Structure 1
Amino acid sequence: MQTASGARLDTKRVALLLLFLGVGWYFWDSRVLLPLKLLVVMMHESGHALASLLVGGKVDSITLRMDESGACLSALPPGVLRKVVVFSAGYLGSAVMGAVLLLATFRFRLCRWVLGAACVWLAVMGVLYARDSFTLLFCLGTSVVLGLAAKFLPSEVVDVVNLFLAAFTALYALFDFRDDLWNSQVRAGSDAALLAQQTWVPAIVWAAIWTLLGIALLGWAAYKSMHGEHRSSQMRMPPLSSARRS
């Protein structure tokens, strides 16, 4: 299917994305997916950490917990704008990573580079900022797994792993908005409530802003990922049969 702008809707990509979104949703409460959930929580906390460094602050520690909660402790220079950037970077950071993974996997076909970059990111964050054994072991252990996968898995399997990571990260980011920001009890202890204390802007307003921006970003990334220019329409995609066997 081709639009007036020359972009082509790749039905294989759409089918794969829907398949993996469905798998993630159906098995959402399975303990098997806990490592992936913790991986996205690490993306959330890494967003806070990176934003803290960008505004001239210092990151003290990052913590992950088995209940899928996490924390990034940092020291920031004075200024409301800096706090807005840092507090917003958690939920939006997860959405950004979901968008990046969608584009890197579907649009740019970076294949092993996706897993390799994730391997390096986790190792760096663990060594520099983990202050407890669980966070350190998770970061280093997952880094090793992703590094070995990037190095030794067949290309077709790497494609499937990348596709599922991209879809699951996007799904988790959306569920994060729903469960954390639109549940009044949970929102009271969220980043939105903490930022409301600093800015006097109600937490529900920050929730709305972050949700709209996150959904818009993920929607744009999904649209770009599902469409390709005519000249790139022959990009190799893993067959649907391979995805089903995963």
Structure 2
Amino acid sequence: MLSIDGVSDLWDQLLGAQPDPPGMLVALTAIAGFLAVAFRPVWRVARNAVTIAHEGGHALFALLTGRRLRGIKLEFDTSGLTLSSGRPTGLGMILTLLGGYIAPSLVGVLGAWLLGGNRITLLLWLAVVLLLLMLINIRNLFGVISLLVTGAIVFGVSWYATPEVQSAFAYAGVWFLLFGGVRPVFELQSLRSRGRMRDSDPDQLARITHVPAIFWVGVFFVVNVVAVLVGAFLLAGQWLPAGV
């Protein structure tokens, strides 16, 4: 059992600011995050993290708008499904549908804000907590395994890794989410243009709002690109020379 001093030290470690990372580390992790999204073989595996954030976004907006969350599924092909009950139309349903494709980028912005304040440990532990909360609502075996593995990796880095490794892991993860929020929008529209995914989020939004689905695809794209710019701005002070 932790002593009072041990709890105090743990709390200070969690909420305290870590030293500034080397500017080169921030730049290199930005390149790594971009390449992980751009290089298809890596993207096929790493995309699971984006799917987790996507479905988590649906779930969060559903709960915030008073809908009842019925469960989340994560599939091996990196697809996912979040089920909620409530009015099939109205603001709550619109926000729930909107939440998926913008969630990875918004999580990336939150991560960039925490990293801009050097709250690396807090970011990693917050990620573990969110994964555990999401795990409660998972309704299939692969989803459970996916979240447990992801959570174990993040916790292991936060607990056992050196500060340098924690920094590299956290920055690479945030950059990946920022860039990774954009590519699924292109993939979505590519599938839609070939007559697939007729029940996609923008198509459901179109049926509810009577606004063309391509408009909602554009909303996803604009929000996610702006998120990349905001995230890069928040992290800029970490790699630009002093006085720039």
| TM-score of the two chains, using structure 1 as the length reference | 0.80
Name structure 1 gaps, 5 residues minimum: 1-9, 235-246
Q: Look up the equivalent residue of 1:48 and give its one-letter code.
A: H
1:110: which partner in 2? 119
C-alpha displacement at 1:233, in angstroms? Answer: 5.2
1:204: which partner in 2? 214
User: How well do the aligned residues superpose, as a CA RMSD in angstroms?
Assistant: 2.5
Q: Write the deviation string for residues 153-186 of structure 1: whole angstroms up to 9, x where unpaired.
A: 0000000111111111112111012111354235
1:41-190 residue pairs with structure 2 within 5 A? 41-77=51-87, 79-105=89-115, 107-126=116-135, 128-181=136-189, 183=191, 184-185=193-194, 186=196, 188-190=198-200
1:39 match: secondary structure: helix
Q: How many equivalent pairs are there? A: 219
1:72 match: secondary structure: strand
Q: Check if 1:40 corresponds to 2:50.
A: yes
Whether the 8 Å CA contact 2:73–2:82 is kept in 1: the answer is yes
Q: Look up the equivalent residue of 1:116 and give its one-letter code.
A: W
Whether the 8 Å CA contact 2:178–2:231 is kept in 1: the answer is no
| TM-score of the two chains, using structure 2 as the length reference | 0.80
1:238: which partner in 2? none
Whether the 8 Å CA contact 1:13–1:226 is kept in 2: the answer is no
Name the % identity.
23
Structure 1 residues 164 and 87: alpha-carbon distance in aligned structure 2, compared to 1, 3 A threshold = same
- Cα distance in 1 for partners of 2:242, 2:200 equals 43
C-alpha displacement at 1:17, in angstroms? Answer: 4.6
